[in-house]
Structure 1
Amino acid sequence: MRLAFMGTPEFSVPVLAELVAAGHEVAAVYTRPPQPSGRGQKLRPSPVEDFARGLGIEVRTPKSLKSAEEQQAFAALDLDVAIVVAYGLILPQAILDAPRYGCLNLHASLLPRWRGAAPIQRAIMAGDETTGVQVMKMEAGLDTGPVLLSETVAISADDTAGTLHDKLSAVAAQLGPRALAALERGALGAVPQSDDGVTYAEKISSQEARIDWQKSAAKVDQHIRGLAPFPGAWFEIDSARVKVLLSGLAEGEGAPGEVLAIGDKVTVACGEGAVALKMLQKSGKRAQPAEEFLRGFPLSEGARLS
């Protein structure tokens, strides 16, 4: 099929790779414009742009698709379908209507749960036991369209947003070609989303990433794992901000935020139970296992983390 691919982050790259490998004609790739990155704040192209240019595919990086000129340029591609995977821009109705079969979105949750921007993080933070990837026919609402294909993925007790991201990206890479094969056969049925169980995966703010030790150990652990590796859950001690990138449940009781034990991990009391902090990162430094981190940032039992 002749298609446009619309995606931006690393999550999207395996899907594009599998569509190309399946023999589909990618007329153009749409991705977010290069963004400032690193200490020098140099403009860096998205992972999707890097990959597409390596294959010699035309790349377009509009800041918006609302102008008549952009919509006409998209329509001129004469597409069968557009595949959208974590693109990051709103698609106006004129864009949705341009391809013969419309625009299909591969979304990393089991809709209608976790519509929106951060479904992977929110699923872990909420303590969900399952999530998945769904192919959805896009319409004007936020992730409201009918579901065409679905694959469920279990969330393990030690999954982080990073590990779950990789699992879901691999599943999405297989669902994309399957969806187009079914579409070509006329065998892609549409199931409307339920009105029950709708939740929204809002973007994660820096302040929200702060660890609340008053919560139960299970909730604190989910919070940490759901935000690892990015943006990273954090606490402060002696005015220094420290991110926690790996944790687990531990035994112990104490005042919320109290350091109960140190060693190859840092055990901290919560409102109920305790968590073991296993991988930490001081602002501006690299992430380190707890034992290595403690050599340069000594903590003592009884210290209180704010």
Structure 2
Amino acid sequence: MSGMQHYVCGFLQFSSPDSLVPIPKALLRSMVGLKVAYFGSDFFSIRCLDHLMNLSFKQHHIGTLDLIAKHSKRGGRGNKQILETPIVSYAKLKQLNILRAEKNSEIESLSANSYDLAIAVSYGKLIPQTFLKSLRYGGLNVHPSLLPKYSGPAPLQHTILNGDSVTGVTVQALHPTTFDKGSVLKQEVCHDYRPDSETTESLGLKLADLGGPLLSDVVKFTFDNLILPEPVETSNEYSYAPKPSPSLYQINWNVLSTTEIIRRFNALGPLYTFKHCHVVKKPPFTGLKRVILDKISPIADISSNLSAELTTPGMFTSVEDGLIIKSLDGYIKVKSLKFQGFGSQDSNSFMASLPKRTGDSVHVFLFNDS
């Protein structure tokens, strides 16, 4: 624009002070940045938002950014604690405007704010069609898989559980009626993915660090061109990634290999098993008690003495830095255990407390199929 023109409160002024021409709303909006509603909850959505703040917000592609969070809830002992989704703390730190919306009617009422764009990342709720229609450019989502593979709520967990060799991230348009059915706008493979060692958190952070900048690219394109990018073609086959079944958290020692146990731990966190108890002292008890296993790692090799001692899947013994447990085809090491009704312990403390808790019983963990 030449030095003979400048903007005055929504008008374009030429050389004459009286020559004020109204600026088209689309042009005015692009000058001041997009008005964005960001729906989020967990660490993945926080990381994506952080990239968006550092790229699009600081470069003025976004003029207004409101954080839309679910309502706080009461929890803990006696329901005395106020529980917030993690992203609320981040939004407060960044001094973002925080709005609460969870019910469809609450989200639809946000239409009065005249947003240009909605971004929903790990929000856990379908954004209502009525609200999406009120947006100039619709909605966007960052999904941690190469869509349409692993559509659904748990793509990270299924990527790790299945031992996939390739994964990546997708930026898609929000579909008005169905999760993960929107047009794919950008997609990229994660070249830093390590299938044998990734956890849900480590993989989520890597894909957020890949997806956040992709999201910012889409926002910049929309800011520059006043339209979303054209959809791109993908070659992946559709599959669904449901929330992991509770049964996956229990170890069946006669079925699961060491690799499968480690994948479950990396994907799901602490796993559990059962220990038979026969206690004759008051109060007497005969039956199974649950034991939660944490800090699980594979063991490549053990001594011949330990190998001779651990002959059956589920059998365990203590070494200096952990509990060694026989799996179907090898061994795992566990450094933290929690016996039902008691707190977490290291392996040595756990073993020392076993006689009192379980009586004189064989050191073997069991699968409970009841």
TM range (shorter): 0.7 to 0.9
The match for 1:237 is 275
Q: Corresponding residue for 2:314? A: 257
Alignment of 1:6-155 (within 5 A): 6-22=39-55, 23=57, 24-41=62-79, 42-65=81-104, 67=105, 70-71=107-108, 73-139=109-175, 140-153=177-190, 154-155=193-194
Query: In structure 2, which of residues 176, 187, 201 is the aligned counterpart of residue 162 of structure 1?
Result: 201
**Whole-Å Cα distance in 2 between the matches of residues 87 and 269 of structure 1?**
40
Aligned AA for 2:67? Answer: V
One-letter code aligned to 1:32? K
Q: Normalised by the size of structure 1, how large is the TM-score?
A: 0.84
* Distance (Å, rounded) in 1 between the aligned partners of 2:345 and 2:199: 16
**Higher Cα radius of gyration:** 2
1:115: Cα distance to partner? 1.2
Cα deviation for residue 250 of structure 1 reads 3.5
Shift of 1:260: 6.0
Tell me the distance in 1 between the aligned counterparts of 2:219 and 2:349: 49
Higher mean C-alpha displacement, 177-186 vs 94-103: 177-186
Q: Distance in 1 between matches of 2:154 and 2:47?
A: 19
8 Å contact from structure 2 (residues 163, 196) kept in 1: no
- Residues 125 and 219, structure 1, Cα contact 8 Å, conserved in 2: yes
The answer for the alignment partner of 1:174 in structure 2 is 213
Task: Give the share of equivalent positions with the same residue, in percent.
Answer: 25
Name whichever of 5-14 and 163-172 sits farther off. 163-172
Instruction: Using structure 2 for the length normalisation, give the TM-score.
Output: 0.71
Checking the alignment, whether the CA contact within 8 Å between 2:126 and 2:179 is kept in structure 1 is: no
Structure 1 residue 192: Cα displacement = 4.8
Q: In 2, are the aligned partners of 1:19 and 1:176 still within 8 Å (CA)?
A: yes
2: distance between equivalents of 1:136 and 1:284? Answer: 46
Instruction: Kindly provide the amino acid, as one letter, of the partner of residue 243 in structure 2.
Output: K
Shift of 1:278: 4.3
Label 1:138 to 1:70 Cα distance change in 2 as closer, same or farther (>3 A).
closer
Is the contact between residue 124 and residue 155 of structure 1 (CA under 8 Å) also seen in structure 2? no
Structure 1 contact 130–155 (Cα < 8 Å) conserved:
no
Match for residue 226 of structure 1 among 254, 267, 283: 267
User: Helix, strand or coil for the counterpart of 1:4?
Assistant: strand
Q: Match of 1:189?
A: 230
Corresponding letter in the other structure for 2:265 = I
Equivalent residue of 1:256, what SS? coil
Long gaps (5+) in structure 1: none
C-alpha change, 1:225 and 1:289, in structure 2 (3 Å) is farther
Deviation at 1:176, TM superposition (A): 2.5
Looking at structure 1, the residues matched to 361 and 323 of structure 2 have their Cα atoms a distance apart, in angstroms, of 9
From the superposition, tell whether residues 256 and 92 of structure 1 become closer, same or farther in structure 2 (CA, over 3 Å): same
CA RMSD of aligned residues (A): 3.0
**1:121–1:297 Cα change, 3 Å:** farther
Are the aligned partners of 2:293 and 2:338 in contact in 1 as well (CA < 8 Å)? yes
Q: Does 1:204 align with 2:244?
A: yes
CA–CA distance in 1 between the matches of 2:219 and 2:156?
24
Q: Measure the CA separation in 1 of the matches of 2:230 and 2:347.
A: 50
User: How many residues were matched structurally?
Assistant: 299
| Between 154-163 and 218-227, the greater mean CA deviation after superposition | 154-163
Tell me, in whole angstroms, the C-alpha distance in 2 between the residues paired with 1:241 and 1:226.
19
Indicate how the Cα distance of structure 1 residues 177 and 70 shifts in structure 2: closer, same or farther if over 3 A, else same. closer
User: Structure 2: any 5+ residue segments left out of the alignment?
Assistant: 1-33, 277-288, 302-306
1:273-299 superposed Cα distances (whole Å, 9 cap, x missing partner) = 333334444567776665676566689
